[in-house]
Structure 1
């Protein structure tokens, strides 16, 4: 039973009642699917990553801090590359991007997706081959498109008629023919949070399939010939575990491929089914291995192509969360522990919604463990909260922690590689934490901690 399940019983059995559901050994145990592969408990119970004690990492780099397991990150890149040997694997940079990560994914043979000028600038600054970059976004500015075209970005995923206008003008002015994919909104209701479901009709991304807008965009690009239409793109959402959504999406997009072939005599050579592959945040999550994902997607595409009598296009996928999410943990220091009138125990840490907004924004669930020592104390059901001036500043909604958790202890939250640092803020004027790359018995800063001087440097008033 996970903590959030026990939480449903909380009112019936009282604040200490859930303790019998778990032993101290259970609370100290690390569930492998939740943690980076080199994370373990040392002889005295403290967590280690890459052979380094997290207490030493805390002394060197402070807290909160994001700790990125380099070996785990590289292993996940290799697993996707091996699972899709004849396809293109694009790392979705929006999950987490910095120059060091760009270099790692390039070294491991992956392509890269970006969706803003800032992400493109980071990719180019890190030396990423522009031909291996895909550029997403529903509102790319003329300046962003100009930079992408001038840099030689390998594919631009067009999202509106206005963007086609802009890109066509740029192409003709420069005498080039950029490669593009059309983002198609296929009307699939992914089983995920409303804000991260991206293929239903009533949302901002892409060209509607049902209205005919996607077909019209394809015919326009083919007829005007200023842009090279390589294929179609679909993305149904994020944190997806059920392959049925991909099956429906592939069927509908390939139906459009067949429509284009019948109307213009052109078979588009590429198909991008996006990403959104789920990861384990708690033991209730059961993500598929990359090899299983590849097998399912390949079967879906092959079957639909056979039904439409289409040549099988080159498939692309865009894992971001599935690569970097499980490879990172966030390390916090406990500041206060408060038993609120027997209702709940609140464990406050030195970070919060400024370094992980997902719990407040998406009602996301996370796990946590005592990281600086082992404990023989009985488990208690706790809520890990941050230091911000918001009652919704929650890091982990419900988790079993040892009843002797105290100020100065370190807590670790796994699965924080995707969208935590990327969506971090300076709410309450809290500087953002650093990202520490840990591997091979060494550690180094790849994104430094912000300081109060950084905050004041932007305040020119």
Structure 2
């Protein structure tokens, strides 16, 4: 049975219409916009941070999350430099561990957390609490109390109940909390429905158009134990166009004017969230941090001039844009299965338990044979996992060399964000290890789970 490649049969539904019908010019090439900045092919083998992927697989096993530490640090530095007159808070939901929190602290970033667990990681890393912002659409009393106890810098309020809850707990603990009101601006961001967060029909924040946001401001200002320092808005994730931010800034400025006219105050801070896109496949062109900063600064300044408002201090919350490009996932090929006239299925030793994004909202990725180079003809493939679901797909359509075989290592690029964070133990599969590479050296920053780790939580298993 022959494998499908450009000279062979191709079923009509193999590739969506928007995809190219042919493979990349060179299957051994590593597109710089997609792969970590240190990624190279040396004697045919992919290296990241100067480390051979074969050595990583031998020492740490597969699947394996690999982070280029210098890539992450350099992107963090670029955002801090670009927003030198504001604040950059890394969105911890993208990926978080104590090692990463320490890198971010050393590079001068703040940190956004949205659960007690993420806050616990930040505290374990010794992250300065005054540079932590607590998010979340349904914070528990315990989470709020812990945030107040350790003195986080900001709490973003998301509901009327939460205003009362934070106010009550702050009063009980004898502290005054700095808070922001999260506003849904009605912007329909150009992204997937599941990661668009500023339209009115969803769970986050207070609607500007209904008057709920202005009412939230009134309620906060009535509570002396809460200090309202600004407004927060986040329009979505994996966004490339700037028009959504322009509309959001305009509507936030209108709300700032309404607050000024009703209460005689001008709020000093404006948090515009994050959501800046990265390149997952060749051809995607993300904005660099400086152009993002210059664009947002110009948009807000223009709106403030139009409404005679003082320019607020800007905060942004990049997550994916800092850790996404520097992450790679390594897999070992287990089976290569030809489905005559349709496609070739390449099965690896991971899948939706370590990367849910493809199954969740059709995310696209770039993958490559990493343990060697090949001059074999390209075959159209689907990279799939080992789980008992037909939707267990890592990369829906990818060109691999026709001689790909069991035992080869495959690398999937741009997996630094939302892969480890969304990882599960489906089919009782332990989560992979996370390794950092830099200057030819590697180290574990999150160890691999074992079956014993999972059984330890089973109350019926004898100690």
TM-score by length of 1: 0.95
Q: 1:57 to 1:260 in 2, by over 3 A?
A: same
Alpha-carbon offset, residue 19 of structure 1: 12
Q: 1:19 touches 1:378 (CA, 8 Å); kept in 2?
A: no
Q: Deviations over 1:142-161 (max 9, x none)?
A: 11000000100000000011
Which residue does 2:363 correspond to in 1?
A: 364
Which residue does 1:11 correspond to in 2?
A: 11
Mapping of residues 130-209 of structure 1, within 5 Å: 130-209=129-208
Alpha-carbon offset, residue 175 of structure 1: 2.0
Which residue does 2:42 correspond to in 1?
A: 42
Residue 412 of structure 2 aligns to a residue whose secondary structure is: strand
Alpha-carbon offset, residue 20 of structure 1: 9.6
Q: Determine the C-alpha separation between the residues in 2 that align with 1:12 and 1:199.
A: 37
Q: Determine the C-alpha separation between the residues in 2 that align with 1:68 and 1:246.
A: 30
Q: Deviations over 1:258-295 (max 9, x none)?
A: 11011111000000000000000111321111111111
What count of residue pairs does the alignment treat as equivalent? Answer: 450
Mapping of residues 19-58 of structure 1, within 5 Å: 21-22=22-23, 26-43=26-43, 45-58=44-57
Q: Determine the C-alpha separation between the residues in 2 that align with 1:19 and 1:27.
A: 15
Which residue does 2:216 correspond to in 1?
A: 217
Mapping of residues 341-420 of structure 1, within 5 Å: 341-420=340-419
Mapping of residues 249-288 of structure 1, within 5 Å: 249-288=248-287
Higher helix proportion, which one? 1
Residue 360 of structure 2 aligns to a residue whose secondary structure is: helix
Alpha-carbon offset, residue 40 of structure 1: 0.3
Which residue does 1:3 correspond to in 2?
A: none
Q: Are 1:335 and 2:325 matched, yes or no?
A: no
Q: Are 1:452 and 2:451 matched, yes or no?
A: yes
Deviates more, 1:436-445 or 1:219-228: 219-228
Alpha-carbon offset, residue 353 of structure 1: 0.3
Q: Determine the C-alpha separation between the residues in 2 that align with 1:125 and 1:12.
A: 53
Residue 11 of structure 1 aligns to a residue whose secondary structure is: coil
Residue 430 of structure 2 aligns to a residue whose secondary structure is: coil
Alpha-carbon offset, residue 51 of structure 1: 1.1
Q: Determine the C-alpha separation between the residues in 1 that align with 2:439 and 2:179.
A: 40
Q: 1:19 touches 1:379 (CA, 8 Å); kept in 2?
A: no
Q: 2:11 touches 2:341 (CA, 8 Å); kept in 1?
A: no
Residue 275 of structure 1 aligns to a residue whose secondary structure is: coil
Q: 1:437 touches 1:446 (CA, 8 Å); kept in 2?
A: yes
Deviates more, 1:275-284 or 1:114-123: 275-284
Q: Deviations over 1:384-437 (max 9, x none)?
A: 000000110000000111010000000000010100000000000100001001
**Ranges in structure 2 where 5+ consecutive residues have no aligned partner:** 1-5
Which residue does 1:293 correspond to in 2?
A: 292
Cα-Cα RMSD = 1.7
Residue 293 of structure 1 aligns to a residue whose secondary structure is: helix
Alpha-carbon offset, residue 137 of structure 1: 0.3
Alpha-carbon offset, residue 225 of structure 1: 2.3
Residue 458 of structure 1 aligns to a residue whose secondary structure is: coil
Residue 423 of structure 2 aligns to a residue whose secondary structure is: coil
Alpha-carbon offset, residue 186 of structure 1: 0.8
Residue 240 of structure 1 aligns to a residue whose secondary structure is: coil
TM-score by length of 2: 0.95
Residue 94 of structure 2 aligns to a residue whose secondary structure is: coil
Q: Determine the C-alpha separation between the residues in 2 that align with 1:19 and 1:143.
A: 51
Structure 1 runs of 4+ off > 6 angstroms? none
Alpha-carbon offset, residue 12 of structure 1: 5.5
Q: 1:368 touches 1:413 (CA, 8 Å); kept in 2?
A: yes
Alpha-carbon offset, residue 174 of structure 1: 2.0
Q: 1:436 to 1:261 in 2, by over 3 A?
A: same
Q: 1:19 touches 1:381 (CA, 8 Å); kept in 2?
A: no
Which residue does 2:423 correspond to in 1?
A: 424
Residue 272 of structure 2 aligns to a residue whose secondary structure is: strand
